[in-house]
Structure 1
């Protein structure tokens, strides 16, 4: 979906006794509700996912302007859903894309821009089994990954600290990118904690693993921004455009970092696999699932259960508990 342009939103609000000029007021009043919906998505990951889904639908039906959403019918939605299935997308992916479109149309209904939500009533694919599809590393693979940045350079220290933070604390990429220097220096009952800004603006405190704590300390000392309490904790090692390193590493940068090291070890995967690895490992070692849910920042314990592989182990089957 095209992002709001200067034609729809004022580029700058002039400060003064009145926050909006008359011209700015009227320009905002004329913002199409479709653009308004997108502009109201504050979470970057949600915005990115919704934009991808809505853009895909726009390409499929040939929509070029926001106002054209008001001509969409349920038949268009069904045809798009069927095409997604033919493209081999998984049931959960298709459900998420339909949910993105449903969110847009619900906003249009609320604004009286359309009479009904055409996504309602469209049958959605059944969800797959409760097992997660993201692969988890074995213990030996996780150890190899932690040891992969071998050199005594700022980059290696940076990469080791990031890999350890992901593998021992199960953070999402966006959560890691939002960490400030001060967020790694919280103490609760004398135990170092990470302050994590999660989905939906929720904050959680995660005990900081001693090994990760030492790696972060080494990285900050080598990188030289340990005194910048309000600054980003993890930053790019190089910036070819500006040469300045104040900004945080991007989610894409974290993905590429994990991808590069794992590929070098023969099991190429993305950053989410490290979150799956940490969750699976904790549950395999009898961590309480309710505590794992809180640790991961899941709103629903059903989401946490996809990482619980103990219930799928043959040796734990009731078959072997039967005795005649």
Structure 2
């Protein structure tokens, strides 16, 4: 169809919006648009919970009522959160969720300013990561913990190697397919789908390459690029093509071998292995900007949470004292 006034050609193949549907979408409140535009499922779930909590506190029942929110409402909510003795990081996240919503409302000219601006957030622990990193000997031990004689052991050895040598998030590991092992300039890389759908390519460490090869040779699905790289070994429904779940990676791999080694299972998680990889890379003089890209962080400030080079126990003056 040709619009005579603008010369714009409009493709009319496929289903078109009805006039009613068009009008309904035009009337969608920006608050709803903001939420629908959050791609990451984990972020969407957390932000939904946080915004709903603020709505309950403020007595907001309709999306339009967000336009009435002032800075004083958020300060009062922050004080209420603090009375619940929540961790500082949790309070910061909740305030950030609401601030993100109001940023979007400002962008849409739905509100004149962001009431979250200027609301002080707890800075306790803001400059250091919460996830404990394993020491080198602990990392070596957990890498060798799975049996090299069973298909599950070979799979778990490969998983732990990928986590500890590449610093992947749990969801990133689970989303890997066989076809995500790709050669670039003669070097095999992981094609990693990160947060927000961002793709990054990571060279595969020789340790992980060897373990993945051993696993795929035993599993027999190395020639199926569309198959999940890390699959269940057994499944009550009989289907083994699907990827492991994030919970399965934590419960049946990371926590299992941490307990086997007598490590504090509550302190060893998938994110703890990511922290271990980042800390180790920085300890061995990796450039922090490169580590930021490697981890898929949007901000280098997040990467700095893993930079513990100034807090090594062995460098403490404690061990310089001699009598």
Q: Same fold (TM over 0.5)?
A: yes
C-alpha distance in 1 between matches for 2:180 and 2:250: 22
List per-residue Cα deviations over 1:21-62 (Å, max 9, x = no partner).
334323323433322211111123332332232233234345
Change in 2 beyond 3 A, CA 1:65/1:226: farther
RMSD, aligned CA: 3.0
Q: Report the counterpart of residue 312 of structure 1 in structure 2.
A: 311
Does residue 248 in structure 1 map to residue 243 in structure 2?
yes
- The corresponding residue for 1:122 is 119
Indicate the residue corresponding to 1:152 in structure 2: 149
**1:195 to partner: Cα distance:** 1.9
- Distance in 2 of aligned mates of 1:175 and 1:72: 37
Report the counterpart of residue 205 of structure 2 in structure 1: 209
Q: For residues 221 and 28 of structure 1, do their structure 2 counterparts lie closer, same or farther at Cα, with a shift above 3 Å needed? A: farther
Out of 226, 229, 241, the position equivalent to 1:230 is 226
Change (3 A) 1:254 1:111: same
Query: Given the superposition, is the C-alpha separation of residues 149 and 320 from structure 1 closer, same or farther in structure 2, using an over 3 Å criterion?
Result: closer
Find the counterpart in structure 2 of residue 86 from structure 1: 83
Q: TM-score scaled to structure 2, two decimals?
A: 0.80
- Ranges in structure 2 where 5+ consecutive residues have no aligned partner: 1-11
Deviation at 1:206, TM superposition (A): 1.7
Q: For the residues of structure 1 that align with 2:234 and 2:50, how far apart are their CA atoms?
A: 33
* Match in the other structure for 1:298: 297
Is the Cα contact below 8 Å between 1:233 and 1:248 reproduced in 2? yes
Q: Which secondary structure does the structure 2 equivalent of 1:281 belong to?
A: helix
Structure 1 distance, partners of 2:70, 2:89, is 23
Instruction: Verify: 1:22 aligned to 2:53, yes or no.
Output: no
Asked if the contact 2:148/2:157 (under 8 Å) is kept, the reply is no
- Once residues 20 and 220 of structure 1 are traced to their aligned partners in structure 2, the CA distance between those partners, rounded to angstroms, is 47
Task: Return 277-286 or 215-224, whichever deviates more.
Answer: 215-224
| Distance 1:206-1:123 versus aligned 2 partners, 3 A rule | same
TM-score by length of 1: 0.80
Tell whether the 8 Å contact from 1:91 to 1:126 is kept in structure 2 after alignment. yes
Alpha carbons of 1:302 and 1:317: their partners in 2 closer, same or farther (altered >3 Å)? farther
Q: Is the 8 A contact 1:91 1:125 kept in 2?
A: yes
Q: SS state of the match for residue 256, structure 2?
A: helix
Aligned partners of 2:107 and 2:275: how far apart in 1?
38
3-state secondary structure, aligned to 1:211 = helix
**TM superposition shift of 1:135:** 0.2
Counterpart Cα distance in 1 of 2:125 and 2:193:
29
Question: Which residue pairs with 2:101 in the alignment?
Answer: 104
Deviations 1:139-189 (A, max 9, x none): 2221222233227333333222211110111111122122221212x2234
**SS of 1:149 mapped into structure 2:** coil
Long gaps (5+) in structure 1: 1-14
Q: CA deviation at 1:315?
A: 6.1
Contact 1:310-1:316 at 8 Å conserved across structures = no
Aligned length: 305
Which residue of structure 1 aligns with residue 48 of structure 2?
Answer: 51
- Distance between the aligned counterparts of 2:111 and 2:293, measured in 1? 39
Secondary structure of 2:85's aligned partner = coil
After superposition, what is the alpha-carbon deviation per residue over 1:260-309, rounded to whole angstroms, capped at 9, x for unaligned?
Answer: 33234332122110011111122223333343333223344343333232
TM superposition shift of 1:127: 4.9
State the shift of 1:80 in Å: 1.8
- Asked if the contact 2:39/2:196 (under 8 Å) is kept, the reply is no
